[in-house]
């Protein structure tokens, strides 16, 4: 029997088995599918059968517990894509190893392989440039700078307030550039203390500290404990 005829017969048998498995899909159990998958991997390694059994098994062990039986069209598409990927990888390996006689070697595995396909298989898709990831702005000073900048852009400020905002932006930017600590003046029970926070301290940390300081009955003694916690915690930055 010729190799082409053997290949056609194998494909025909595989197609029949695929249809049979699809028809029985609803009745199969995960253990049964797993055993069949292992047997196929250790045995004939038929691509279509492996793909279908994997689809079955992944569906059966999915967290939602819903069994989604793929249709023949989906399986055929995955088989085609897998074969194309295998062929492309083989072609690239052969071409990289021996450019001059690559076509001859490729045609020993793929007799109908054409020159046009070689160009297609060797083509490398241009990668999309990676978008730069911007870390969210969380520290107090930069948050304030963003808010003030947005206020300026609104264009609805009276002249006096406009200049005041500009001066505030300059002061904040200089303090940020020089990495100066963030001073917070708190007056409690007639005593005034200044709590210096690291220049990178998050806005929500400083705001929560202000809220704590404004609580009725708060003392500097209690506030100092919280201040030390903030200063020593890596989550404050």
Query: CA angle 149-151-156, nearest 5°?
Result: 135
- Which sign, positive or negative, has the C-alpha torsion 63, 68, 69, 71? negative
Which of 3-7, 8-12, 60-64 tops mean pLDDT?
60-64
Q: How far apart are CA 188 and CA 220, in angstroms?
A: 7
pLDDT given at position 11: 61
Q: Residue 179's CB: how many other CB atoms inside 10 A?
A: 10
pLDDT given at position 50: 84
Q: Mean per-residue pLDDT for 137-147?
A: 91
Dihedral class, residue 125 (left if φ above 0, else alpha if ψ from -120 to 50, else beta): beta
Q: Mean per-residue pLDDT for 189-202?
A: 92
Of 134 and 65, more confident: 134
Q: Mean per-residue pLDDT for 126-144?
A: 83
Q: Which of 66, 61, 70, 65 is nearest to 32 (CA)?
A: 61
Name the residue with tokens 């550039």.
Answer: 177
CB 186, CB 220: distance < 8 Å: yes
Least confident of 44-58, 80-94, 140-154, 210-224: 44-58
pLDDT given at position 1: 43
Which residues are paired to 187 by β-bridges? Answer: 192
pLDDT given at position 67: 61
Contacts of range 32-40, beta carbons closer than 8 Å, 24 or more positions apart: 33/57, 33/60
pTM exceeds 0.75: no
Of 64 and 190, more confident: 190
- pLDDT tens readout for residues 48-69: 888 888 877 777 766 655 666 7
Q: How far is CA 197 from CA 68, 135, 146, 212, in A?
A: 56, 21, 20, 15
The rounded percent of the chain whose pLDDT value lies above 70 is 92
Q: Mean per-residue pLDDT for 160-179?
A: 91
Contact partners, residue 21, CB within 8 Å, separation at least 6: 28, 49, 52, 53, 56
Residue 10 pLDDT grade (very low, low, confident, very high; cuts 50, 70, 90): low
* Average pLDDT value over all residues in the chain: 84
Task: Name the residue ranges covered by the structural domains of the chain.
Answer: 3-122, 133-180, 181-237
pLDDT given at position 211: 93
Contact partners, residue 176, CB within 8 Å, separation at least 6: 141, 142, 145, 199
Q: How far apart are CA 178 and CA 141, in angstroms?
A: 12
User: Residue 4: is its pLDDT beyond 50?
Assistant: no
Q: Mean per-residue pLDDT for 99-119?
A: 90
User: Residue 189: is its pLDDT beyond 50?
Assistant: yes
Least confident of 44-58, 176-190, 195-209: 44-58
User: Residue 161: is its pLDDT beyond 80?
Assistant: yes
């Amino acid at each position: 029997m010729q190799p082409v005829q053997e290949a056609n017969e194998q494909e025909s048998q595989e197609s029949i088995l695929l249809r049979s498995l699809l028809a029985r899909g609803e009745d199969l159990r995960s253990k049964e599918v797993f055993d069949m998958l292992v047997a196929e991997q250790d045995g004939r390694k038929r691509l279509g059968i492996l793909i279908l059994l994997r689809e079955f098994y992944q569906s059966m062990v999915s967290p939602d517990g819903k069994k989604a039986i793929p249709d023949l069209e989906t399986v055929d598409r995955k088989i085609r894509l897998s074969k194309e990927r295998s062929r492309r990888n083989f072609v690239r390996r052969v071409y990289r190893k021996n450019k001059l006689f690559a076509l001859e070697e490729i045609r020993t595995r793929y007799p109908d392989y054409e020159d046009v396909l070689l160009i297609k298989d060797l083509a490398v898709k241009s990668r999309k440039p990676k978008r730069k990831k911007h870390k969210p702005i969380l520290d107090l000073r930069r948050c304030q700078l963003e808010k003030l900048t947005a206020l300026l852009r609104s264009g609805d400020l009276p002249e006096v307030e406009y200049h005041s905002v500009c001066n505030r932006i300059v002061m904040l930017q200089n303090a940020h550039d020089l990495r100066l600590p963030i001073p917070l003046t708190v007056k409690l029970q007639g005593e005034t203390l200044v709590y210096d926070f690291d220049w990178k301290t998050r806005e929500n940390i400083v705001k929560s500290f202000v809220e704590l300081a404004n609580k009725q009955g708060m003392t500097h003694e209690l506030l100092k404990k919280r201040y030390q916690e903030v200063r020593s915690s890596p989550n404050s930055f």
